Amino acid sequence: MKPLVDLAGKRGLVVGIANEHSIAAGCAEAFAQCGARLAATYLNAKAEQYVAPVAECLGVEWTAPCDVRVPGELEALFEKVRTKWGGLDFLLHSIAFAPRDDLHGRVVDSSAEGVAIAMDVSCHSFLRMARLAEPLMPDGGCLLCVTFYGSDRVVEHYNLMGPVKAALESATRYVAAELGSKGIRAHAISPGPIATRAASGIERFDELIERAAAAVPEGKLVEVADVGALAAFLVSDAAKRITGTIIPVDSGLHLLA
C-alpha cells in the first residue's frame, strides 16, 4: 500500500525560499521527503547564493529567478514550467513585502504607493500565479499561500501586513471557488510566529515570539517543518476534497483571545 501522503511523480513549484530557515524551505523539504519533483525560485542574483545550497540539498530539479515586480519575469517562470515539465501539480506562494516606512508606521498613515506595493507583491501575485498555473493543471492541482493571524486581529507591529494578509485570505477563497470546477484547490496556511528572515523586518518580532511561546496551550511554537508537514498533506491526494480553507498551524495560538 502507498503511504497516505504520497507525492511521488507530482511536480511542485516553490516560490519564496530565502534560505534554509524560511517557511518555503521547510515546505520544500517536506514535499521532497514525500517524493515530489521540485522547482524553486530565487528573488535575484544576490539571493541565488542563499537559495542554491538549499535547492541542491533537497534535490530540486531546476531553479529560476522570480521577482514579481519585474515585468514579464513571472510569465517567463511559468513558461519554463511548461517547457521543462509540460504541466504542474502544485504551487507554494510564500512571498510578502511592504516598504519599510509603511510597515513600521501606523496603518492609517500608510502611503498609497506603499499599500499598492504590499498588495501587489503579497496578494495580487498569488492571483497572477493562479491564473498562470490554471492551464498547466488540466487534471487538477493545489495552490498554497502563507498568511498570518494578524489578518483577523490586531497584532502589535504587524501593521500594514494585517490588511494585506486579510486580502490574501479572501483571494484564496475566491480562487478555490473559481477554479474548483477544474479540480484546482486553494488554501492559505497560517503559521504562528516563526523566526525567519522575512519576519525580521517586523519591529520587535522577537518579543512577539516570546509572548506567543509563553501563551500557547502546547507550550512550544511551531517550526518550519511543522508547516511543511501540513503543506505536504494539503497538496496530496489525501486532501483532494478539501479546498478554500485558512488553516492554522500555530500550536493553538489562534484559540486565544
Q: What is the pLDDT of residues 73-126, one digit of tens each?
A: 999 999 999 999 999 999 999 999 999 999 999 999 999 999 999 999 999 999
Contacts of 214 (CB under 8 A, 6+ apart): none
Q: Is the pLDDT of residue 21 over 60?
A: yes
Identify the band that residue 193 occupies on the pLDDT scale cut at 50, 70 and 90: confident
Nearest of 153, 146, 130, 123 to residue 230 by alpha carbon: 146
Q: CA torsion, points 147, 44, 87, 138, in degrees to nearest 10?
A: 40
Q: Catalytic residue numbers?
A: 158, 165
Is 203 a residue whose pLDDT tops 80?
no
Q: What is the C-alpha separation between 118 and 54, in angstroms, rounded?
A: 27
- Which of 8, 30, 25 has its CA nearest to residue 63? 25
Nine-digit cell string for 131: 491564473
pLDDT of residue 15: 98
Residue 77 or 223, more confident:
77
- Longest distance between any two alpha carbons in the chain, whole Å: 57
Are 198 and 18 in contact, with CB atoms under 8 Å apart? yes
> What nine digits make up the cell of 251?
500550536
Instruction: Return the percentage of the chain with pLDDT > 90, whole number.
Output: 81
Mean residue pLDDT across the chain: 93
CA dist 53 and 155 (Å) reads 34
Query: Which pLDDT score is estimated for 144?
Result: 98
